[in-house]
């Protein structure tokens, strides 16, 4: 039998109705053996995630405030689910809540507080499914430095789970060497799912959320964009880096290393194929030449001009050293014969601007320094671009047609992406133009 590890996000488990959907999904396929839940998320757009309620409640408790009301609102979220599902675990939960309340009073820490969202949801889901509950604190370990101990963790997870046909392991947290609870960064249940999949050498890691996978581009810019059926880890990394999010970046490593594919699926539309993330994907698995378009505003280009720069040994290094010394990493660095441009994040740069300009002047004596503060970057990503002649021409024809002035072009040497710099005002127009030519017109 195959083994699938299935992780359900907060919106998939926000109320009893969602629990029913989740149970139906799990029961529909017996290979869905190990389940990693998040804490209950938003039930409607103005609702608050339980994790956020827990942080707020704990912060109040830690300041010595009266946190009863906030605490009761959290208790109610869980009790409503339990009652509606008709589960007989109210007494157990009441005991858990009294322990949690005491621990808040004893200042058990923000991580402990936040982790209770997943912990309690795990207990409820395990009871509802009739699966064993495994506390993540018993099998997921962080070192003294706060970093995940992947090897030891995988060993412990495997040892516990291989004896069990099914189990529920809450996401988002583990334990420190001194037995205190530590969480991953926000959205970290994805990481737990990935670790469990790697430890159990699963055939597939299914990540269930409230969208049918990744879209070719941001739905806030292009309404109703096409879904991405298949994407490679490298493409995903390029798109995620440029702002496309759904999946926690740190969650890629454990499964990727173990060669396990990830399938992003929609709890509310389980029949949709979703997005398959794999190490390698055949070119014909994508209906378009490109896989995705992402991008961000808020960049600055610093252009340095100096006659005969090209023949001045160490010029580039000295310029980059200035940025390095100020703790700023650069995003791109297109260069000409006597010019070089450094593209950096605006917020980081502006805080150190005066020091950087002064240091460049002192260190390399440029003829001129130009600063362009109105830069947005667009990343067009696709494994198919390499094999297709004229891809770049089509991108730039589409942009010219949309009357967009291109400020910068950078094609990665992997030919997996083309980065284009435009003004912030032209950003949305650019995304739409590139989407239109490759996806709508399928050119
Ligand atoms: N509940 C946690 C959060 O809201 C972790 C997760 O959902 O993945 O960040």
Q: Ligand 1 centroid vs 187 CA: distance in angstroms?
A: 4
Sign (positive/negative) of CA torsion 400, 302, 372, 332? positive
**Which atom of ligand 1 is the closest one to the Cα of 185?**
9
Question: Is 122 a pocket residue for ligand 1 (Cβ < 6 Å)?
Answer: no
**Which atom of ligand 1 is the closest one to the Cα of 49?**
4
Question: Is 19 a pocket residue for ligand 1 (Cβ < 6 Å)?
Answer: no
Tokens of 20: 């029913």
Q: Name every residue whose Cβ is closer than 8 Å to that of residue 151 and which is 6 or more positions away in sequence.
A: none
Question: Is 172 a pocket residue for ligand 1 (Cβ < 6 Å)?
Answer: yes
Considering the chain, tell me which residue range(s) the CATH 3.30.2130.10 domain(s) occupy.
292-442
Q: Which pLDDT belongs to residue 339?
A: 94
Q: How many CB atoms lie within 10 A of CB 178?
A: 6
Question: Is 10 a pocket residue for ligand 1 (Cβ < 6 Å)?
Answer: yes
Q: Ligand 1 centroid vs 431 CA: distance in angstroms?
A: 30
Tokens of 183: 């969480």
Q: Which pLDDT belongs to residue 270?
A: 98
Nearest of 5, 14, 4 to residue 268 by alpha carbon: 14
Give the CATH H-level superfamily of domain 292-442. Answer: VC0802-like (3.30.2130.10)
Dihedral, CA of residue 345, residue 349, residue 350 and residue 354, to nearest 10? -160
- Give SS3 for 291: coil
Question: Is 295 a pocket residue for ligand 1 (Cβ < 6 Å)?
Answer: no
Question: Is 170 a pocket residue for ligand 1 (Cβ < 6 Å)?
Answer: no
The topology under which CATH files domain 4-210 is Carbamate kinase (3.40.1160)
Q: Global pTM?
A: 0.87
Q: Ligand 1 centroid vs 160 CA: distance in angstroms?
A: 24
**Which atom of ligand 1 is the closest one to the Cα of 10?**
7
**Which atom of ligand 1 is the closest one to the Cα of 187?**
8
Q: Which pLDDT belongs to residue 248?
A: 83
Residue located nearest, by CA, to atom 5 of ligand 1: 187
Question: Is 117 a pocket residue for ligand 1 (Cβ < 6 Å)?
Answer: yes
Q: Ligand 1 centroid vs 41 CA: distance in angstroms?
A: 8
Residue located nearest, by CA, to atom 2 of ligand 1: 187
244, 325, 332, 353 from 347: Cα distances, Å: 20, 17, 16, 10
**Which of 36, 78, 171 for a ligand 1 pocket mutation test, highest count of atoms within 8 Å of Cβ?**
171
Residue located nearest, by CA, to atom 8 of ligand 1: 187
Nearest of 387, 368, 391, 377 to residue 421 by alpha carbon: 377
Question: Is 292 a pocket residue for ligand 1 (Cβ < 6 Å)?
Answer: no
Question: Is 37 a pocket residue for ligand 1 (Cβ < 6 Å)?
Answer: no
**Which of 115, 170, 186 for a ligand 1 pocket mutation test, highest count of atoms within 8 Å of Cβ?**
186
**Which of 48, 49, 172 for a ligand 1 pocket mutation test, highest count of atoms within 8 Å of Cβ?**
172
Going residue by residue through the chain (443 aa), what tens digit of pLDDT does each one get?
899 999 999 999 999 999 999 999 999 999 999 999 999 999 999 999 999 999 999 999 999 999 999 999 999 999 999 999 999 999 999 999 999 999 999 999 999 999 999 999 999 999 999 999 999 999 999 999 999 999 999 999 999 999 999 999 999 999 999 999 999 999 999 999 999 999 999 999 999 999 999 999 999 999 999 999 999 998 988 887 766 666 788 888 999 999 999 999 999 999 999 999 999 887 777 889 999 999 999 999 999 999 999 888 999 999 999 999 999 999 999 888 999 999 999 999 999 999 999 999 999 999 999 999 999 999 999 988 888 888 899 999 999 999 999 999 988 777 788 999 999 999 999 999 999 999 999 87
Question: Is 13 a pocket residue for ligand 1 (Cβ < 6 Å)?
Answer: no
Q: Which pLDDT belongs to residue 244?
A: 65
Tokens of 10: 């907060």
Question: Is 11 a pocket residue for ligand 1 (Cβ < 6 Å)?
Answer: no
Considering the chain, tell me which residue range(s) the CATH 3.40.1160.10 domain(s) occupy.
4-210
Q: Ligand 1 centroid vs 220 CA: distance in angstroms?
A: 23
Q: Ligand 1 centroid vs 208 CA: distance in angstroms?
A: 13
Tokens of 226: 């096409």
Helices and strands, number each (H, E), in the chain:
13, 15
Question: Is 187 a pocket residue for ligand 1 (Cβ < 6 Å)?
Answer: yes
Tokens of 164: 């069990």
């Amino acid at each position: 039998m195959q083994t699938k590890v299935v992780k359900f996000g907060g919106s998939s488990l926000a109320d009893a109705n969602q629990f029913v959907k989740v149970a139906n999904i799990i029961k529909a396929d017996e290979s869905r053996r190990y389940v990693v839940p998040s804490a209950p998320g938003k039930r409607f757009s103005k609702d608050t995630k339980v994790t956020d309620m827990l942080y707020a409640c704990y912060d109040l408790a830690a300041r010595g405030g009266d946190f009863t009301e906030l605490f009761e609102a959290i208790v109610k979220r869980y009790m409503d689910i339990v009652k509606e599902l008709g589960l007989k675990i109210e007494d157990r939960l009441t005991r858990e809540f009294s322990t949690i309340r005491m621990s808040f009073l004893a200042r058990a820490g923000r991580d402990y507080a936040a982790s209770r969202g997943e912990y309690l949801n795990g207990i409820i889901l395990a009871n509802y499914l009739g699966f064993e509950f495994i506390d993540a604190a018993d099998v997921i370990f962080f070192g003294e430095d706060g970093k995940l101990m992947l090897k030891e963790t995988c060993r412990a997870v495997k040892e516990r789970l291989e004896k069990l046909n099914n189990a529920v392991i809450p996401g988002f947290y583990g334990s420190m060497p001194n037995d205190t609870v530590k969480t991953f960064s926000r959205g970290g249940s994805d990481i737990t799912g990935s670790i469990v999949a790697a430890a159990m050498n699963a055939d597939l890691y299914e990540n269930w959320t409230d969208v049918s996978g990744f879209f070719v581009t941001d739905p806030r810019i292009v309404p109703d964009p096409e879904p991405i059926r298949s994407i490679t880890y490298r493409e995903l990394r390029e798109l995620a880096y440029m702002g496309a999010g759904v999946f926690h970046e740190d969650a890629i490593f454990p499964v990727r290393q173990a060669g396990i594919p990830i399938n992003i699926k929609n709890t509310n539309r389980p029949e949709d194929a979703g997005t398959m993330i794999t190490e390698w994907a055949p070119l014909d698995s994508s209906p378009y030449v490109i896989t995705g378009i992402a991008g961000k505003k808020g960049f600055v280009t610093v252009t340095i001009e100096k006659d005969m720069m090209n023949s001045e040994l160490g010029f580039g290094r000295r310029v980059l050293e200035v940025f390095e010394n100020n703790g700023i990493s650069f995003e791109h660095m297109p260069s000409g014969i006597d010019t070089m441009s450094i593209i950096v994040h605006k917020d980081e740069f502006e805080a150190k601007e005066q020091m950087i300009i002064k240091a460049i002047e002192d260190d390399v004596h440029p003829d001129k320094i130009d600063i362009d503060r109105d830069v947005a970057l667009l990343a067009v990503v696709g494994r198919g671009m390499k094999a297709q002649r004229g891809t770049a021409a089509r991108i730039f024809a589409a942009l010219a047609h949309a009357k967009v002035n291109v400020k910068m072009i950078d094609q990665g040497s992997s030919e997996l992406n083309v980065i284009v710099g435009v003004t912030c005002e032209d950003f949305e127009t650019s995304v739409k133009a590139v989407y239109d030519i490759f996806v709508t017109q399928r050119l």
